[in-house]
Structure 1
Amino acid sequence: MIDPFTASIILIAFLAFGGLSIGLAMICGASVYLILAGYDPSIASETLLQGLFHSYTLLAIPLFILAADIMNVGSLADRLLRFSQALVGRFKGGLGHVNVFSSLIFSGMSGSAVADAVGMGKIIINMMTKDGKYTPSYAAAITAASATIGPIIPPSIPMVLYALVSDQSVGFLFAAGLAPGLLMGVMLMVMNSIVAHRRGFPVDDGTPLREMPRTTLQAIPALMLPVILLGGIYGGVTTPTEAAAVAAFYALIISVVLYRSVSLRQFYSTLLGSARSTATVGILIAGALTFQYVVTRENVPDALAAFLGQYDLSPTGFLIAINIMFLLLGCILEAGAILLIIVPIFIPAAQALGIDLVHFGVIVVVNSMLGLITPPYGLLLFIVSSITKRPLLEISRDILPFLLALIGALVIITFVPGFVLWLPRLLGYQG
């Protein structure tokens, strides 16, 4: 008779590669495991409900999604883009710098790489390809690469998911992502400068100095959103979930009242879109919570720790192996699935080796984001390909320099833990 756990894994793989969402595939696999192992199948429902009801932090996810969608449908993205162009658009390869810089700002509001690529990405790609200044494939490549910063700089939906499985503070995880996110932005801008000089990209028209005050003033209400969001969390005024609610409400108020850029019909469509996105994430979380019960029953984390113990891996060796594995997994699995299914298996081993779990969380989230732009199956590559109508192979060639730059940033993030943890420690983290 086939082993129940093996049958569960085979079924999940078969359903997932057959086109079923990974969340539903995990629920089916866990149910089959319970039946074959002789357990009450209702345990799956009980585990799912307990996991959802006891995780107040999960409420932050739909609120961050709503805030990002409101900013996309309103004029906040346009104003932030004009502000970015005024600051960095006058340099060689200027619109490439604007692309990265606008992602740095927008990521402090959305917490989603896909929201960044779809929202800000459409606008900046049109700007870059207008008049033939940049090739569509290059515009698509740097847009996809800069979108990976979104879930690193707080707020971050993947960080919330990691907090769920690791029992770490969302606030400290957000703080730990700030310096790595800025480093990724700097690395992308350096690479953009190198490529711009090699390929002879033009110097774009900069914003006249006399218009700088007006452009900045128009962007201030939008720029205040991350200040309010993070100030509330680190000032002890709000929890991350409450801060997400404040962010969504603030985005709505300035879009409707101040900028008057969102109609009632647009707001209704935004709510529907946010609900669909939330449902997609919710099914994934539901499947992961159910499958985690199976993993726990099979003592997979303990078995893995014992297996690694045979090879006497050092913390450095473990982190190298983790980076290679998660980069490869990122090519075929979405970030949420990696964080909710794979990462919990390795957390006990990381703890046993003395690796700080906040630092470890940043490492796995960055790896998961790089997987979104790793050819040939990176999700963001498909998104920007659909926006530009350019072949995936063409975009993949242009994204390789940016992928190498981000891997360079990942090396620093992995092996210089003090760089990641200095801000959380400044805010009281004891790890």
Structure 2
Amino acid sequence: MSLTHPFTLALAAILGLSLLGVPVGHAMIAGSVLYLYLKGMDMGLAAEQLLNGTYNSFLLLAIPLFILAATIMSTGSVLDRLLRFCNAIVGRFPGGLAQVNVLQSIVFASMSGSALADAAGSGKLMQEMMTRDGKYTKSFAAALTAVSAVIGPILPPSIPLVLYALVSGSSIGYLFIAGVLPGLLMGAVQMGLIYVQSRRLNFPVEAPVPARELPRITREALPALMLPVILLGCLYSGITTPTEAAGLAAAYALLVSAVLYRSVGWHDLYASLVTSARVSISIGMLIAGAMVFNYVITSENIPATISAVLKGMELSPLVFLLLVNVLLLVLGAFLEGSTIILVILPVLLPTATALGVDPVHFGVVAVLNIMIGLVTPPYGLLLFMMSKIAEVSLGELVRQVMPFLGVMIGALALVTLWPDFVLFLPRLAGYTG
């Protein structure tokens, strides 16, 4: 493909605009319009693809509703109640607050579809708690906050898995339940490493919560803890569609925060609505840009070409997945996860299907890679974010992250090599893929 080919120029325009600070979604729309113009095609096709991709998908409505539920649940006293619950469960073990940091990421998975949002919200609070009174160094606390934040988007309800369902046509319900065991595995390997490090480095242990206090703490946190249970129960019982379940989650979050906990007022609700709208619009523009650019990619027959080339190499499904792991880990260090799911995965999916890779397994492996990429040196987005929040150097942060990165890649290898581990729960729920 020559340097003056319309597709090459479109890619150059997208890259150039992105480097100039233009949002990626807008850059993809601009690059796609340039491609249509240079090819002599009707530029109105860009608007047509945008409208068809966004307004014809009822599933997309689930994204702003999940975001609204997460925003409401992150307001008021919900965070405090859940953190007290996490501390009561694991604070007494070696590496007390460090263990709490990981557990809160698992618990808050139902309230944050974004690793970046998790790190900036409850993760930032944990960063302050861990460094108070010099219990942990800033660099270790920041590194742990970064790596634990990647757990949330793997567990349901997961916005990355909603986006994957959009581009793959897979069942969002089966994808959600398929992410449960890998997400818990990721948390388990992190907590295991903390236990080992705490024995060697004498991490502090929190004062045990008296047994008589556990029922009260659990009772106070139970309404918030029930959100993912209710969500998955409605999905797998067939009572609701994924989008209706997202609406139910938002309504339940409002009920718990405003009525049961009485921690959300009209001002807080307004702020939650505004925040959710801003995040939803940002994701929506990215989806719109990806829809238009995917039309360009399809017009160039790129997915079919790549699929033919890879099939000609006679790769086994395992080798293909290993290559995908490497590619997505590298891309995840440079690009926002939604961009990879919406632009890169549609190119790889035809090959995965042709090789007999299960689409649900492929989706979970892809999301795991993308999340780990966020803490992969030297350009992982979470590393830069936590370096700024914690005011520590990137070098110090990377040194603390490396052991966690090693155990997470080990968990990724297990998930990649053992599809039945991912598909066990979906098959119990009736999945036949």
TM-score (norm: length of structure 2) = 0.97
- 2:62 maps to 60
- 1:309 maps to 311
* Aligned partner (choices 30, 47, 71) of residue 69 of structure 1: 71
Q: Does the CA-based 8 Å contact 1:68-1:115 persist in structure 2?
A: no
SS in 2 for 1:73: coil
Q: State the Cα deviation string for residues 89-111 of structure 1 (Å, max 9, x = none).
A: 00110111111111111103322
5 Å matches for 1:382-401? 382-401=384-403
Deviation at 1:37, TM superposition (A): 0.4
- Taking the aligned partners of 1:114 and 1:4, their CA distance within structure 2 comes to 35
Deviation at 1:85, TM superposition (A): 0.5
- Taking the aligned partners of 1:88 and 1:80, their CA distance within structure 2 comes to 13
Q: Does the CA-based 8 Å contact 1:148-1:369 persist in structure 2?
A: yes
Deviation at 1:385, TM superposition (A): 2.5
Give the letter aligned to residue 371 of structure 1: G
Give the letter aligned to residue 80 of structure 1: L
- 1:93 maps to 95
- 1:156 maps to 158
Deviation at 1:81, TM superposition (A): 0.8
- 2:33 maps to 31
Deviation at 1:195, TM superposition (A): 1.8
Deviation at 1:289, TM superposition (A): 0.1
Give the letter aligned to residue 344 of structure 2: I
- Taking the aligned partners of 1:46 and 1:304, their CA distance within structure 2 comes to 26
- 1:296 maps to 298
Q: State the Cα deviation string for residues 167-218 of structure 1 (Å, max 9, x = none).
A: 1100010011011001101000011112222222112212121211111111
Q: State the Cα deviation string for residues 113-138 of structure 1 (Å, max 9, x = none).
A: 12321221122112111111111111
- 2:359 maps to 357
5 Å matches for 1:217-296? 217-296=219-298
Deviation at 1:314, TM superposition (A): 1.1
- 1:181 maps to 183
* Aligned partner (choices 181, 206, 209) of residue 211 of structure 2: 209
SS in 1 for 2:74: helix
Q: Does the CA-based 8 Å contact 1:77-1:119 persist in structure 2?
A: no
Give the letter aligned to residue 137 of structure 1: S
- Taking the aligned partners of 1:20 and 1:195, their CA distance within structure 2 comes to 43
Q: Does the CA-based 8 Å contact 1:372-1:381 persist in structure 2?
A: yes
* Aligned partner (choices 337, 355, 358) of residue 339 of structure 2: 337
Q: 2:326 matched to 1:324? A: yes
Q: Percent of counterpart pairs with the same letter? A: 55
SS in 1 for 2:152: coil
Q: Does the CA-based 8 Å contact 1:69-1:115 persist in structure 2?
A: no
Q: Does the CA-based 8 Å contact 2:119-2:146 persist in structure 1?
A: yes
Deviation at 1:227, TM superposition (A): 1.1
Q: Does the CA-based 8 Å contact 1:152-1:365 persist in structure 2?
A: yes
- Taking the aligned partners of 2:11 and 2:120, their CA distance within structure 1 comes to 33
- Taking the aligned partners of 1:309 and 1:360, their CA distance within structure 2 comes to 17
Q: Does the CA-based 8 Å contact 1:110-1:116 persist in structure 2?
A: yes
Deviation at 1:69, TM superposition (A): 1.1
Q: Does the CA-based 8 Å contact 2:71-2:111 persist in structure 1?
A: no
- Taking the aligned partners of 1:11 and 1:312, their CA distance within structure 2 comes to 35
Q: Does the CA-based 8 Å contact 2:130-2:141 persist in structure 1?
A: yes
- 1:84 maps to 86
In structure 1, stretches of 5+ residues that fail to align are none
Deviation at 1:86, TM superposition (A): 0.2
Deviation at 1:374, TM superposition (A): 1.2
Deviation at 1:427, TM superposition (A): 0.7
Q: Does the CA-based 8 Å contact 2:70-2:110 persist in structure 1?
A: no
SS in 2 for 1:154: coil
Report the more deviating stretch, 386-395 or 32-41: 386-395
Deviation at 1:263, TM superposition (A): 2.2
- Taking the aligned partners of 1:3 and 1:343, their CA distance within structure 2 comes to 24
Report the more deviating stretch, 268-277 or 23-32: 268-277
Q: State the Cα deviation string for residues 335-386 of structure 1 (Å, max 9, x = none).
A: 0000000000010000111100110000110111011111222222233223
Give the letter aligned to residue 143 of structure 1: T
Report the more deviating stretch, 128-137 or 288-297: 128-137
Q: Does the CA-based 8 Å contact 1:152-1:177 persist in structure 2?
A: yes
**What CA RMSD, in Å, does the superposition of the two structures yield over aligned residues?**
1.2
* Aligned partner (choices 136, 139, 153) of residue 137 of structure 1: 139
Report the more deviating stretch, 337-346 or 203-212: 203-212
The runs of at least 4 aligned residues of structure 1 exceeding 6 Å deviation read none
Give the letter aligned to residue 134 of structure 1: Y
- Taking the aligned partners of 1:43 and 1:233, their CA distance within structure 2 comes to 36
TM-score (norm: length of structure 1) = 0.98
